[in-house]
Structures are given as C-alpha cells and as structure tokens.
Structure 1
C-alpha cells in the first residue's frame, strides 16, 4: 500500500465515519440531554479511534475495524490492542466530557434563574393596575391628582 492509497483510504473512512456520526446524532436527538450527550461521545470515540497496525511503518487503522476483522477472521492478535485503545480513549473522552458538563451545569442554572427573573418582571409589567381596570370599566370616571402629583382614579362604591 502506497502513501497515496493509505491517505485515500483514511479519507474515505473519515467521510463515512462522519456520515455515521451525523446519523447517530439524528437518531439520539429525541433523548434526554444527559443521556444523549455521553452516548454521542462514546460513538464518536468508537468511530474515530485509530490503532497501530504496523509499528515498523507507523501505519494506523480504525480500532473498530481492526477488532471486528480480527474477531471475524480469527487472524492476528491486534484485537486486544485495539480494544485497549478504544477503552483508553473512551475513558479519556468521558472524563473530558464530565469536566465540561460539570463546568457548564452551574452556568446554565444561573442563566436559567436570570431568565426566570426577567420573565417574571416582564409579566408583572404587563398586568393591569387597579387604575387600568377601573378606567376600562368606567371611562367617564373622575380622575384627580393626589398629594404626590400622580393621577388618581376615584372609585365610588355601588349601593
């Protein structure tokens, strides 16, 4: 296999792996967020992890493919090495994801609280005051000014 063939094979695999990853993202879109994201990380690691095939030439291949072919055809002993690579990269990726999620969680809680406060303030501004309600019922109501200079609506009780 020449260097050109090697790069062409990796390019084809990379495009196919990204296509599979896109399909996986669409399949897990309906799930609960805290389940969906770790599954996406694990599948990304599964599809994108390389393992060494020939140490003399520094040639790599997808770990999933090496594991599947070694188990299917019962040739070579690269399956264990590929499985260990997959496990190591999975642990690293999940640790990085957990750190990311741990940093993101308090920030999102704070943003959610600020958004709730804004919505509550906006809702309070939209509620009509007693003056607005009385004016709507009786547009000819007597309006006067109180000691502060604010308009005040005079409401007479019905007898």
Structure 2
C-alpha cells in the first residue's frame, strides 16, 4: 500500500466514522444529559482511536476494526495492543469530559438561577399589568361588601350577598 492509498483509506474511514458518529448522536439524543454525553464520548473514542499495526513503518489503523478483525478471523496478535489503546484513550477522554462537566456545573447553576429570577420577574410584571388594567378599581377585595351582618335582599343584590355596582355618569 502506497502512502497515497493509505491517506485515501484514512480519509474514507474518517468520512464513514463521522457518519456513524452522527447516527450515534441521533440515537442518544433523547437521553438524560449526564448519560448522553459520556456515551457520546465513548462512541467517539471507539470510532476514532488509532492503533499501531506495523511499528517499523509507523502504520496505524482504527483500533476497533483491528480488534474486530483479529478476533473474528483469529489471526494476528494486535488485539491486546488495540484493546490497550482503546482503554487508554477512553480513560483519558472520559477524564477530560468529567473535568469539563465539573467546570461547567457552576455556570449551569447560575444560568438556572437567572432563568428562575427572570421568570419570577415576568410573573410579577404580569401581575402588575393585570392590576393596572383597571386603574380606577380599588385594591380591596371587599370594597363593595355589605357592612351589616345580613345584606338586604333586593333587586340589585347578587346571590352571594354582594351588591351590584353601577357606574356613575
């Protein structure tokens, strides 16, 4: 295999691996954030982790493909090297992800607090707007309630004992 063929093969593999990673992102899209993101990191490591196949020529191949082919065809001794590379890259990638998640956590909490404060302010503004819709109404709920113990039953009385108020012109 010439160097040009080697680069073309890696380019084709990278294109296919990006497609597989996109499918993996779609498959894990419905999950809880703290389960989805580590699974995506593991998927990326499995797809993009290289391993040495020829130490003399410094030729690399995808570790997942090498381990699957060596185990499936029962040839070669690159399975253990590929498994070691996969576990090493996986541990480093998950460690970096957990550090990133710990750094991101205070920012997410601040964002959630800001959103709760903004929602409370919007609810307060909506309540004030509702009160301002009737500028001449009293703030008291029982402004027109009867002061006597038993309201008079007349033409203008409501079933609840409250009087109907007519506007003055």
TM-score (norm 2): 0.79
User: What's the offset of the Cα at 1:129?
Assistant: 7.2
Compared with structure 1, are the counterparts of its residues 128 and 8 closer, same or farther at alpha carbon in structure 2 (3 Å cutoff)? same
Q: Give the aligned CA root-mean-square deviation in angstroms.
A: 2.3
The answer for the alignment partner of 2:111 in structure 1 is 111
Unpaired runs of 5+ residues, structure 1, are 142-151
In 1, Cα distance between equivalents of 2:9 and 2:109: 45
Query: Which SS does the other structure have where 1:60 is aligned?
Result: strand
In 1, Cα distance between equivalents of 2:131 and 2:124: 15
* More helix, by proportion: 1
29-38 or 125-134, which deviates more? 125-134
When Rg is computed on C-alpha atoms for both structures, the one with the higher figure is 2
Unpaired runs of 5+ residues, structure 2, are 147-169
Alignment deviations for residues 104-134 of structure 1 (CA, whole Å, 9 cap, x no partner): 1111001110111111012101104796475
The answer for the alignment partner of 1:56 in structure 2 is 56
Number of aligned residue pairs: give it. 145
The answer for the alignment partner of 2:5 in structure 1 is 5
The answer for the alignment partner of 1:79 in structure 2 is 79
